[in-house]
Chains A and B, each alone.
Chain A
Amino acid sequence: MAKTKVMERKPLSWAERTYLPQIITGLLTTFRNLFRPKVTLQYPDERPRIPNDYRGVPTLVKDPNEREKCVSCQLCEFVCPPKAIRITPGAISTEETDRTHVEKAPKEFEINMLRCIYCGYCEEVCPEEAIFLQDIYSLNGYTREQMQFNKEKLYELGGVLPDQHFKWDKKRAAAEKIGLGSSSDEETEEE
């Protein structure tokens, strides 16, 4: 039958109808609360603990050798729902001799922080693990232009990610093993 149980509402006793016992228990409750530890976080002085998988400001990161990880594949640009990312692809400069076999690098990498919705798709889609959402939660600027983060700023915020992949080191080692080590220089110049 019916699964709900109808509670019988008892008529209030005389003492209850004076409100006084209830008022006194209420007062005791609030009095105990006076001495409980406070839950307020004194914000600018104390900072909240940010969980590890927090999705804050997206930034670019460098690999343990302090080299640019991004290869300008533009997947993040395509996946970005609010179209906050804009990448201008470019070649790797010839001075970076240990990276010449990497084909591309972003000439400019801009994220419009006013458009960004911190969804984390860019981090998820990146095949190079080059873009990460950091724990930065408080972002502000005086103008719209200041909220347009360029590559330099993104690397400044992102820093170095000490991962242990060494993908490009391994690739170069593999290439050198079969005698292709030096040929990659020519390939990049052709582009």
Chain B
Amino acid sequence: MDVAWEMFLLKVFYGILALVAILTFAAYAVLAERKVSAWIQGRVGPNRTTLPIVGDIPILGPFLRSLGLFQPMADGLKFLFKEEMCPGQVNRFHYHLAPILALIPALSVLAVVPFGQYVASTGADPIPLVLADLDIGILLIFALSSLGVYGIVLAGWASNSKYPFLGGVRASAQMISFELAMGLSVLPVFLWVNEPGSIGGLNLARVVDWQDNGWGMIFVQPVSALVFLVALFAESNRLPFDMPESETDLVGGFHTEYGAFKFGLFFTAEYAHVIVGSAIFALLFLGGWHFLPGVEDPWPIGWSGAALSFLWFALKTFAMSFLFIWVRWTLPRFRYDQVMKLGWGKLLPLALGNLLLYAVLASWMG
């Protein structure tokens, strides 16, 4: 086999690995959501599901059972084996296309998200662990993740039913409004990272490299971080901005007419969005895989160090995902016009002003 083929197969292997990982994370994010919501509300959460052999291990089995660790498997199986319903009034082609369109962008974004670093020898430049080390990194992420709204709009429209339709309309309006603020909020970050005179790039690993003293970008640009975070919440349709879903006024929002595995796909897409969003926030503002502020990275040379850096980065990502869940079970939903006012009237000017401020600062300091 020639080298090109080998490289290709390796990439495919890594790609599948990353997909499996993100899908597992998404499944366990669902569990985390249920558990955290339960704990916040003084409940216990899922603790009944168990597996035949693992569940029988004396102390460990009941412990895992009480944590509900087997619940995602049961949920996944349930979605798989449920009857595939298709309501009579829907546009069949688009109805089936929508969940696929919702999931694909959420997963493809993964390709340019770096998740660790590999240092070959002392003094060598760290190589970021990423599926595709592209220079357009963040641009690709924005391009792809904004495609996610198509899935939702299409779902609302193809369902041919009023509540999903309203959900779809709200989703499109909301996504467009917050996409703008989001894009503007990361511009200062890249402005700051790319020194004048050097060849710039939008690679995420570059932002992480800039934060290698451990001080996250959040300390340098708190306003960018805030705007980005709020926009991230809105983009991933999480409370307090879950307008497209808003169970209380739109039944189930855009996925009212969906059931079984198609609903499972929407569900996975939502949580994949949350995880990838958390990962991007961790990369941009929390220093990625770099250790605590002011502390030299303790990762050893070689693959063990790479694994440790990945774990540290994963920890930050999970902490951010926890924030997503935590906020959901704390805040009530905004009214629709409030969301729009917040997006256009507050966040957008704030992001613009922030961009201008850092542009002036950068040129003055540069």
Residues of A within 8 A of B (CB): 23, 26-27, 29-31, 33-40, 42
Report the count of interface residues on B (CB-CB < 8 A): 12
Whether a CB of chain A sits under 8 angstroms from the CB of B210 is no
Structural contact, A39 and B43, CB atoms closer than 8 A: yes
- Out of B39, B41, B43, B330, name the residue touching A26 (CB < 8 Å): B330
- Out of B39, B44, B327, B331, name the residue touching A33 (CB < 8 Å): B39
Residue of A nearest to B42 (CB): A39
Q: Which among A35, A37, A38 has the greatest number of chain B C-beta atoms within 10 A?
A: A38
Please indicate the chain A residues that have their CB under 8 angstroms from the CB of B331 in the complex. 23, 26
Please indicate the chain B residues that have their CB under 8 angstroms from the CB of A33 in the complex. 39-42
With A23-B330, A23-B331, A30-B330 in contact, do A38 and B43 touch (Cβ < 8 Å)?
yes
Please indicate the chain A residues that have their CB under 8 angstroms from the CB of B42 in the complex. 33, 36-40
Please indicate the chain A residues that have their CB under 8 angstroms from the CB of B39 in the complex. 33-35, 38
Q: How far is the CA of A83 from the CA of B100 in the complex (A)?
A: 60
Structural contact, A31 and B326, CB atoms closer than 8 A: yes
Please report whether the interface of chain B is mostly helix, strand, loop or mixed according to DSSP: loop
Residue of A nearest to B37 (CB): A30
Residues of B within 8 A of A (CB): 36, 39-44, 326-327, 329-331
Structural contact, A29 and B36, CB atoms closer than 8 A: no
Q: How far is the CA of A34 from the CA of B37 in the complex (A)?
A: 9
Structural contact, A27 and B327, CB atoms closer than 8 A: yes
With A34-B36, A34-B39 in contact, do A29 and B330 touch (Cβ < 8 Å)?
yes
Please indicate the chain B residues that have their CB under 8 angstroms from the CB of A40 in the complex. 42-44
Q: How far is the CA of A40 from the CA of B43 in the complex (A)?
A: 5
A-B contact pairs, 28 of them (CB 8 A): A23-B327, A23-B331, A26-B331, A27-B326, A27-B327, A27-B330, A30-B40, A30-B326, A30-B329, A30-B330, A31-B326, A33-B39, A33-B40, A33-B41, A33-B42, A34-B36, A34-B40, A35-B39, A36-B42, A37-B42, A38-B42, A38-B43, A38-B44, A39-B42, A40-B42, A40-B43, A40-B44, A42-B44
With both chains docked as a complex, state the minimum distance between the C-beta of B182 and any C-beta of chain A, in angstroms: 18
Please indicate the chain B residues that have their CB under 8 angstroms from the CB of A39 in the complex. 42-43
Residue of A nearest to B44 (CB): A40
Please indicate the chain B residues that have their CB under 8 angstroms from the CB of A30 in the complex. 40, 326, 329-330
Q: Which among A23, A34, A37 has the greatest number of chain B C-beta atoms within 10 A?
A: A34
With both chains docked as a complex, state the minimum distance between the C-beta of A19 and any C-beta of chain B, in angstroms: 9
Residue of A nearest to B226 (CB): A20
With both chains docked as a complex, state the minimum distance between the C-beta of A22 and any C-beta of chain B, in angstroms: 9
Residue of B nearest to A42 (CB): B44
Q: How far is the CA of A37 from the CA of B42 in the complex (A)?
A: 7
Q: How far is the CA of A35 from the CA of B39 in the complex (A)?
A: 7
With both chains docked as a complex, state the minimum distance between the C-beta of B64 and any C-beta of chain A, in angstroms: 17
Q: A34-B40, A38-B39, A42-B44 are in contact. List 12 more A-B contacts (CB 8 A).
A: A23-B331, A26-B331, A30-B326, A30-B329, A30-B330, A33-B39, A33-B40, A33-B41, A37-B42, A39-B42, A39-B43, A40-B43
